[in-house]
């Protein structure tokens, strides 16, 4: 799939989003910051990826945390996954949060998130007065465990 992309002038020295391996589902996004951002524990920041994209109609781009940052430092995203809709043309930002116990520094060019392009299913609601029954029924959080 080919997706139109524009790099901000300030990001021309950064790599385009890239698949780290041939089997990678997502592409890495890189921090387009001029000065390091220090995230204190519990602090969050919107970090520019330095790109705008034109996601094709019928698809979305999901921005997800990087598992290595989460495991090593407790760095995640406030809204995960973040959705880039097919009609959005603004700059992609990653809403990072430090859930760790130590300050974390985001430097220019750091891999800060991954982005996966996925199909979107449009729905139409079929209004009913009841729903079909299942074994689980209305059991919510924790009801599928034994």
Q: In terms of Cα–Cα distance, which of 37, 53, 26, 46 is closest to 108?
A: 37
**pLDDT for residue 139:** 80
Domain limits, the chain? 4-119
List the Cα angle 33/37/39 in 5-degree steps.
Answer: 145
**pLDDT for residue 145:** 62
User: Whole-model pTM?
Assistant: 0.89
Residue 62: its H or E element = strand 59-64
- 4-119 topology per CATH: Deoxyuridine 5'-Triphosphate Nucleotidohydrolase; Chain A (2.70.40)
**pLDDT for residue 143:** 66
Residue ranges of the chain whose pLDDT lies below 70: 143-146
**pLDDT for residue 146:** 57
3-state SS of 78-98? CCCCEEECCCCCCEEEEEEEE
């Amino acid at each position: 799939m080919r997706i139109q992309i524009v790099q901000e002038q300030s990001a021309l020295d950064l790599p385009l989003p890239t698949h780290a391996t041939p089997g990678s589902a997502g592409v890495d996004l890189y921090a387009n910051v001029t000065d390091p951002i220090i995230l204190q524990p519990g602090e969050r920041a919107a970090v520019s990826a330095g790109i705008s994209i034109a996601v094709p109609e019928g698809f979305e781009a999901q921005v997800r945390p990087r598992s290595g940052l989460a495991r090593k430092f407790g760095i995640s995203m406030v809204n995960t996954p973040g959705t880039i809709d097919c009609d959005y043309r603004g700059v992609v930002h990653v809403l990072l949060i430090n859930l760790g116990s130590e300050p974390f520094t985001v430097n220019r060019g750091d891999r800060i998130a991954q982005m996966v392009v996925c199909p979107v299913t449009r729905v139409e609601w079929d209004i009913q007065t009841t729903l079909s029954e299942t074994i689980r029924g209305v059991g919510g959080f924790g009801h599928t465990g034994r």
